[in-house]
Structure 1
Amino acid sequence: MNLLILMPTSAKFSKIDLWNFNNLNHNFFILTTDKCANTYNNLSSNMKVFSVGEWKENIILEKTLSIWNYSKFHKVIAFDEFDINVAASIREYFKLEGQNRKTAKFYRDKFHMNKVVSEIGLKAPKTERVSDIFDVLEFGETFGYPIIVKPVMGAGTYNTIKLNCKEDIKLISIREFGQDYIVQEFIEGELYHIDALKLDGKIAYNIVSKYYYPTLEHFKGHSTSSCQIRGEESKIFKEYTENLLSKIPTTHNSLFHLEIIYNGKNIYFLEIGSRLGGGGIQPIIMDQYNIDPFYMYVLAELNEYNMIPEIIPQNELLYGFIMVAPKVGKVVSLPEEFEIDLIKERCNIFDIHFFSKIGKEHIKTVNSIQSICRISLKGENPEEIAELLGKAESLINSKVLIV
């Protein structure tokens, strides 16, 4: 089988460099950016690397025509949320099986997904499309404040804003909405994310985590962070996830990242993506389950189910991650390698990845995953995880100078 993988990031960041391509009797076509192309070279004899100068939809689609002429591919995989629709378009044009544009729309169009979820009987925030600020004001007058305004196909709280009152309309008055934005009622409660993998039509894992702060708090300087939970709430949320997945459009193999709000009484659907969650979720699953969820998904799409190991936790520990929020300014120093090693040892960190570089300008916070670095760690209980994440953040900040 020839498999086309859309991957705009480097092999090291995506961890594709750890996959055992040579053990598979298939051909892999990696489509990436010119900047990242060299990170995929020489990984495997059954891998061919293609690249584009700009990672834009029509440029990607045009490139697939030349890839198809080079050698027809049988399946397409996209791991980035913004490539879900692109992959669906490729499948439809070349008449390949997998998620089509209609199904992809459910996972990208936040108005559509909330409408569908409400129609199947699950609670979701009241949601409407908006064309201008008057639509936003009318929604606030009808349903009350606070309200949330965000892109219909956004991710990571990018361009998402909470309006606490009518006067806050000035915060968004410079935006041109078109049909690209929605407005939602604000639901009070705790925010959770559930990460699941479906292989051969069955749930392989279903992991519940709680955010320490709502992701919108990132705009106030709080680092996005979460910790896995257990107990009765976890059980309820897992059952909710399985029920939801049984009622929405899914494919035989798929990754899911679901976000819900729980107010102690009701569960409210917030959004879902047919992808692996961001932040520290991939390294956490790799350490906790000793698998790469991306690679397991690829094996399933290749019908290599016999190569997929039993997917069970390798220990009884809980896991958490933090995206250390940057201050506004220019990065002039970062921790040395030996300092990072000491921080890892003191905080039980098994994965740390720096996004900031010396000389980088942090102008303003634009989304909930913008960070100096990503840290993933493990501990015995939620209290220990919270303490370790706080200590790790403090130690990193003590070694970072932004002016």
Structure 2
Amino acid sequence: MTTLVLNGGASTDYAEMLPELAADMVVFTEQPLPSPERYAHYEQVPDCAAVPYAELTALRMASDPVAPVTFDRVLAGHEFDLERAGRLRDRLDIPGQSESSARVFRDKALMKDYAGHAVPVPAHARLATFGDLLDFVAERDYPVVVKPVGQGGSRDVTVLRDEAQLTAFSRLPWRDDLMAEEFVHGDVYHVDAVLAPGFRFVSAGRYYTGCLEVLSGANNGSALLHPREPMARRLAAFLDTLLTVLPAPEVGAYHLEVFHTPDDRLVLCEIASRVGGSRIPQLIRRTWGADPQETWFRLETGLPLRAEPVTVPRAVHGDIALTPRAGRVRAVPTAPPYPWVRDHHTLLRPGERSDGPLDSAAGLCWTIVAGADSDQLMERLHHCESWLAEHVDHGAPEPAR
């Protein structure tokens, strides 16, 4: 039996996570993976998540008249591989998340239509024409968020705050995958979970700044909540309630984002059926002692876990990343000199050029810190941010060519 792997996005060492299966894996990947000779079949495919080559090749392998390959599992952890993985499962009668299930978690308008039966969601509407946007603005007033229903990382999201911004938006090419929703004020929290029969792992965290603020230049990061914090319990209950109305797979990983409003309401931002991105997996590993991606994939393939998450962590962890500005960076900070700093990594070197933040996880450098709870983490992240800001030189923006 053979495991099919679709690996769009970042490099993931499947053979290290699943050594029992590596020799029988068929892998299609966008980024190179370590030691590709460990796999039965390995191809690096440019734009793997966007082009249908992997899907075509896998179906040809499965239907080969001489030596057909029998796939028993499909693994895909990247946002833009999920529907394709579901489609392959449906075609080849493989257990796991179906295409229709993946679409509910990918299409933000459809997701909120489902979710509204169980939890508070922002007012929203799918936009077929610009007239639909005018109707939504007339009904809800400003500010209004306009975004693609299937995008990730806060890419291509626009906040319209007045008529002038609406006019400016009307000068951009219209696209047929847009939705509008009301702007929700408040802090943004995230819940990261792996759920399976007989297994439950749930971790909650608070974003350092809102995802849309990062695209405007604010620094980004996250602070995990200790499970004893009341908000951690509220967020876990919110996830449980939400999943009662979503077509969740039997074994699944989830990254949920929730608004906490000034009047103490929890409102759905969105949920994905995958592990959280950016540094969230690193924070979970340091806090809970288990890797969420490995946990998900080993449960998905029926393998025993090599590391069980601890019940109560000794400390929780957070991270802060300096958001790059457009231009050529001149100086990049080293690790802040505090005893509770646990890791520091530089993404841009002096002299390298940046186009500014292209998504909500953009970073020039990032730092991980430890603390007793989310309040202490936020305080320490503020200290780190101030120190990093004193030791960075973003450089002057380069003139347009």
TM-score range, shorter chain: 0.7 to 0.9
Partner of 2:222: 226
Partner of 1:37: 32
What does residue range 181-330 of structure 1 map to in structure 2 within 5 Å? 181-200=178-197, 202=199, 204-230=200-226, 231-263=229-261, 264-304=263-303, 306-313=304-311, 315-330=313-328
Partner of 1:93: 91
Q: Measure the CA separation in 1 of the matches of 2:327 and 2:93.
A: 49
Q: Measure the CA separation in 2 of the matches of 1:166 and 1:195.
A: 38
Shift of 1:182: 0.3
Q: Measure the CA separation in 2 of the matches of 1:58 and 1:282.
A: 28
Shift of 1:128: 0.6
Give SS of 2:36's match.
coil
Partner of 1:402: 395
Give SS of 2:205's match.
strand
Partner of 1:162: 159
- The percentage of counterpart residues that share the same residue type is 22
Shift of 1:399: 4.5
Distance 1:384 1:123, change over 3 A: closer
Q: Is the 8 A contact 2:331 2:393 kept in 1?
A: yes
Q: Is the 8 A contact 1:321 1:375 kept in 2?
A: yes
Match of 1:390 among 375, 382, 397: 382
Give the aligned residue type for 2:98. N
Distance 1:307 1:385, change over 3 A: closer
Partner of 1:8: 8
Give SS of 2:287's match.
helix
Distance 1:183 1:401, change over 3 A: closer
Unaligned runs of 5+ in 2: 397-401
Q: Measure the CA separation in 2 of the matches of 1:316 and 1:106.
A: 36
Q: Measure the CA separation in 2 of the matches of 1:353 and 1:100.
A: 38
Shift of 1:273: 0.1
Q: Measure the CA separation in 2 of the matches of 1:195 and 1:393.
A: 25
Give the aligned residue type for 1:116. Y
Give SS of 2:170's match.
coil
Q: Is the 8 A contact 2:137 2:144 kept in 1?
A: yes
Give SS of 2:257's match.
strand
Shift of 1:5: 1.7
Q: CA offsets, 1:27-62, max 9 Å, x none? A: 2222113xx3363424x4x55422213322322322
Shift of 1:384: 3.3
Distance 1:221 1:53, change over 3 A: closer
Distance 1:385 1:307, change over 3 A: closer
Shift of 1:151: 0.6
Q: CA offsets, 1:130-154, max 9 Å, x none? A: 1343322221111121111011111
Shift of 1:359: 5.2
Q: Measure the CA separation in 1 of the matches of 2:102 and 2:284.
A: 25
Q: Which one has the bigger helix percentage?
A: 1
Give the number of equivalent residue pairs.
387
**Stretches of 4+ aligned residues off by more than 6 angstroms:** none
Partner of 2:80: 82
Q: Which moved more, 1:105-114 or 1:56-65?
A: 56-65
Match of 1:58 among 35, 52, 58: 52
Q: CA offsets, 1:274-314, max 9 Å, x none? A: 0111121111111122221111112112212x345432256
Partner of 2:106: 108
Q: Measure the CA separation in 2 of the matches of 1:237 and 1:95.
A: 35
Partner of 2:399: none
Q: Measure the CA separation in 2 of the matches of 1:74 and 1:66.
A: 15
Q: Measure the CA separation in 1 of the matches of 2:310 and 2:151.
A: 33
Give SS of 1:61's match.
helix
Q: Is the 8 A contact 2:194 2:253 kept in 1?
A: yes
1:350 maps to 2:345: no
Q: Which moved more, 1:103-112 or 1:364-373?
A: 364-373
Shift of 1:4: 1.5
Q: Which moved more, 1:283-292 or 1:367-376?
A: 367-376
1:136 maps to 2:133: yes
1:377 maps to 2:369: yes
Give SS of 2:71's match.
coil
Distance 1:381 1:189, change over 3 A: same
Distance 1:355 1:59, change over 3 A: farther
Give the aligned residue type for 1:156. G
Q: Measure the CA separation in 2 of the matches of 1:160 and 1:109.
A: 15
Shift of 1:84: 1.0
How well do the aligned residues superpose, as a CA RMSD in angstroms? 2.6
Q: Which moved more, 1:66-75 or 1:208-217?
A: 66-75
Distance 1:133 1:374, change over 3 A: farther
Give the aligned residue type for 1:87. A
Partner of 1:19: 17
TM-score by length of 2: 0.87
Shift of 1:233: 2.2
Give SS of 2:55's match.
helix
Distance 1:333 1:25, change over 3 A: closer
Give the aligned residue type for 1:257. H
